């Protein structure tokens, strides 16, 4: 390999945004290089979506067997108390990660995109250097027509509670070598509740400290109530409206309660999960002087930045920081660069929180629709009236639909309940295809499924639900 090479599209970052852009550009015959500094698959496959869902599944299985061992199962199942070989659990999770990240490299190759390992530093809007990737082990210079920034995000560190020792981020929490007796989770958002719940199911004592007055504050309160109830039942202590102050000399977590009193909470480990921020530093991005929107790179509806032929996708381009949004943007940029006319205008981007029960939000909530001045029809159907939910021993939660009052066009869905993550597909498809309440009500839904609650929510909004 010479020390200077040229390409049409150069992608910095091999996460879901960057690798999908690489695959699609390769399919379209665009000469493409993807530079990845750590491991293909990015946060999502290595230290995010996939390993967290694997750990959540392992914890659920363990908790299920433990509940049978307690001898209280109404199903009449009893077993011996379970034991956990944590190293084996983590190895199983790592195996899934390895399979998927290996798959990304293979897919890039199959589609003709080149993957280069190394840390990219921007020279100018058409040139990047990758340390150690040159022929002689020196820097490789890559010149491109189009530069795509897909550098993702970094975890937010609290200055008064820096990472190190017992203070860990989600990355360490996903590869435990031993389980803490007591885990304190700072931040009752996505990561804090997904991983906090998993650790509780694995037998740890868990306390969640959340600054706002309720958990998952980004979602509406009614939707998160079943999650709060379940956490309480599971024995997770949730301290809302509490602010974190730092560590005491003895290593306890100092927090301030809503009345202004200072408490010291003992813990073996403290997981800080207070958000992520776009990764815009450490690779000379500032030299391009791109317009920013807050801390994120500002983009238009084709993911163009303020500099010609420089594009940005995924977490580095701001909220919502979700893998499927990064992938959709990566595909779009590849198509636009290849000459296709595309705009990023999804009718909705689904969001799923893999708590127990799971939460799904797609499109507008009743309050959001009202805030936009839209007159709505809304209705919910509880899983307590759904046979499949009963057979799964999970009748908590509901499906809610939001539709425009005048023409019944569906604007949003919200759901909380067991396995509702899988309903998100039906929700987003109905919105993307412009379905009305009558379309959903008139579709035959298979029985017995949780999906029947989707049809019943639509029927109920029309005033003639059948099972309630």
Residue showing tokens 């198509």 = 335
Residue showing tokens 């039906």 = 426
The smaller minimum CB distance to ligand FAD, of residues 68 and 427, is found at: 427
Answer with the entry of ligand FAD, ligand NAD, none that 212 interacts with (C-beta below 5 to 8 A by kind).
Answer: ligand NAD
- What 3-state class would DSSP assign to 4? strand
The smaller minimum CB distance to ligand NAD, of residues 26 and 397, is found at: 397
Measure CA 422 to chain center: 15
Answer with the entry of ligand FAD, ligand NAD, none that 279 interacts with (C-beta below 5 to 8 A by kind).
Answer: ligand FAD
Residue selected from 7, 101, 105, 151 as contacting ligand FAD according to rule CB under 6 A: 151
311 binding ligand FAD? (CB under 6 A): no
The residue among 149, 145, 151, 123 whose CA lies nearest residue 7 is 145
Answer with the entry of ligand FAD, ligand NAD, none that 188 interacts with (C-beta below 5 to 8 A by kind).
Answer: ligand NAD
The smaller minimum CB distance to ligand FAD, of residues 230 and 276, is found at: 276
The smaller minimum CB distance to ligand NAD, of residues 282 and 320, is found at: 320
Which CB contacts under 8 angstroms, 24+ apart, belong to 159-166?
160/244, 160/245, 160/246, 161/186, 161/244, 161/246, 161/247, 161/253, 161/270, 161/272, 163/272, 166/251, 166/267, 166/268, 166/269, 166/270
Answer with the entry of ligand NAD, ligand FAD, none that 151 interacts with (C-beta below 5 to 8 A by kind).
Answer: ligand FAD
Considering only the stretches 62-70, 257-265, 321-329, 452-460, report the one whose residues sit in contact with ligand FAD under the rule CB under 6 A: 321-329
With beta carbons less than 8 A apart as the criterion, state whether 196 and 57 touch.
no
| Separation of alpha carbons 381 and 149, rounded Å | 43
The smaller minimum CB distance to ligand FAD, of residues 10 and 435, is found at: 10
Kind and range of the H or E run holding 64: helix 49-69
Would you call 230 a catalytic residue per the annotation? no
152 binding ligand FAD? (CB under 6 A): yes
Residue showing tokens 């390895």 = 98
120 binding ligand FAD? (CB under 6 A): yes
Residue selected from 7, 9, 11, 16 as contacting ligand FAD according to rule CB under 6 A: 16
277 binding ligand FAD? (CB under 6 A): no
| Separation of alpha carbons 45 and 386, rounded Å | 35
Considering only the stretches 160-168, 303-311, 322-330, 442-450, report the one whose residues sit in contact with ligand FAD under the rule CB under 6 A: 322-330
Answer with the entry of ligand NAD, ligand FAD, none that 329 interacts with (C-beta below 5 to 8 A by kind).
Answer: none
**β-pair partners for 358:** 417
With beta carbons less than 8 A apart as the criterion, state whether 92 and 123 touch.
no
Backbone Cα Rg of the chain: 24
119 binding ligand FAD? (CB under 6 A): yes
Binding site for ligand NAD (CB under 6 A): 158, 186-192, 194, 209-212, 217, 243-244, 273-276, 320-322, 352-354
* Residues found in the chain: 468
Q: Is the N-terminal amide bond of 139 cis, ω within 30° of 0?
A: no
139 binding ligand FAD? (CB under 6 A): no
Residue selected from 9, 10, 11, 12 as contacting ligand FAD according to rule CB under 6 A: 12
Residue selected from 206, 322, 380, 389 as contacting ligand FAD according to rule CB under 6 A: 322
| Separation of alpha carbons 12 and 342, rounded Å | 22
Q: Provide the Cα torsion 196, 197, 199, 200; round to 10°.
A: 120
421 binding ligand FAD? (CB under 6 A): no
DSSP 146-170: EEEE---EEEPPBTTB-SBTTEE-H
Considering only the stretches 22-30, 47-55, 94-102, 224-232, report the one whose residues sit in contact with ligand FAD under the rule CB under 6 A: 47-55
Measured in Å, how far apart are the chain's first and last C-alpha atoms?
69
36 binding ligand FAD? (CB under 6 A): yes
188 binding ligand FAD? (CB under 6 A): no
| Catalytic annotation, pick one of 242, 447, 464, 467 | 447
Judged by CB under 6 A, the chain residues 207 through 246 that form the site for ligand FAD are none
DSSP 370-394: HHTT--EEEEEEEGGG-HHHHHTT-
Considering only the stretches 36-44, 196-204, 287-295, 360-368, report the one whose residues sit in contact with ligand FAD under the rule CB under 6 A: 36-44
Taking CB positions, which residue lies at the least distance from ligand NAD? 189
The smaller minimum CB distance to ligand NAD, of residues 69 and 351, is found at: 351
The smaller minimum CB distance to ligand NAD, of residues 153 and 378, is found at: 153
Beta-strand pair 140-149/127-130: antiparallel
44 binding ligand FAD? (CB under 6 A): yes
Binding site for ligand FAD (CB under 6 A): 12-18, 35-38, 42-44, 48-49, 52, 119-120, 150-153, 170, 191, 279, 283, 314-315, 321-324, 326
Active site residues: 447
């Amino acid at each position: 390999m010479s020390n200077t090479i040229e390409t049409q599209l150069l992608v910095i970052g091999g996460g879901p945004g960057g690798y999908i852009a690489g695959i699609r550009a390769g399919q379209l015959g665009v000469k493409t290089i993807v530079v990845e500094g750590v491991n293909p698959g990015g946060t999502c496959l290595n230290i995010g979506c996939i390993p967290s869902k694997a750990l959540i599944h392992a914890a659920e299985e363990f908790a299920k067997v433990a509940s049978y061992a307690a001898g209280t199962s109404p199903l009449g199942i009893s077993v011996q108390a379970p034991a956990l070989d944590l190293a084996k659990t983590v190895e199983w999770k790592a195996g899934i990660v390895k399979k998927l990240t290996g798959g990304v490299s293979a897919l890039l190759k199959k589609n003709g995109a080149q993957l280069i390992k190394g840390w990219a530093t921007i020279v100018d809007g058409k040139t990047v250097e990758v340390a150690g990737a040159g022929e002689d082990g020196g820097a490789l210079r890559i010149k491109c027509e189009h530069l795509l920034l897909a550098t993702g995000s970094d975890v937010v560190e609290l200055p008064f509670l820096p990472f190190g020792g017992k203070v860990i981020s989600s990355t360490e929490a996903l590869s435990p070598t031993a389980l803490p007796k007591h885990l304190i989770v700072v931040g009752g958002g996505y990561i804090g509740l997904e991983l906090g719940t998993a650790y509780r199911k694995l037998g740890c004592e868990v306390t969640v400290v959340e600054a706002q007055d309720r958990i998952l504050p980004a979602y509406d309160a009614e939707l998160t109530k079943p999650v709060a109830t379940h956490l309480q039942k599971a024995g997770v202590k949730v301290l809302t409206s509490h602010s974190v102050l730092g560590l005491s000399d003895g290593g306890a977590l100092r927090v301030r309660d809503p009345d202004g009193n200072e408490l010291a909470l003992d813990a073996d480990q403290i997981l800080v999960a207070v958000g992520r921020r776009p990764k815009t530093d450490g690779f000379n991005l500032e030299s391009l002087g791109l317009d920013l929107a807050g801390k994120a790179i500002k983009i238009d509806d084709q993911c163009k930045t303020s500099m010609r032929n420089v594009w940005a996708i995924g977490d580095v381009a701001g909220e919502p920081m979700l893998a499927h949004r990064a992938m959709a943007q990566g595909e779009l940029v590849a198509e636009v660069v290849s000459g296709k006319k595309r705009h990023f205008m999804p009718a909705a981007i689904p969001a799923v929180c893999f708590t127990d029960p799971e939460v799904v939000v797609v499109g507008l909530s009743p309050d959001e629709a009202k805030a936009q001045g839209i007159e709505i029809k809304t209705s919910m159907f509880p899983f307590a009236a759904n046979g499949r939910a009963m057979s799964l021993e999970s009748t908590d939660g509901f499906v809610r639909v939001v539709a425009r009052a005048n023409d019944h066009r569906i604007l949003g869905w919200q759901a909380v309940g067991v396995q509702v993550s899988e309903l998100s597909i039906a929700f987003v498809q109905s919105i993307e295809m412009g379905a009305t309440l009558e379309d959903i009500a008139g579709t035959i839904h298979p029985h017995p499924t949780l999906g029947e609650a989707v049809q019943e929510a639509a029927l109920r909004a029309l005033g003639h639900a059948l099972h309630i």
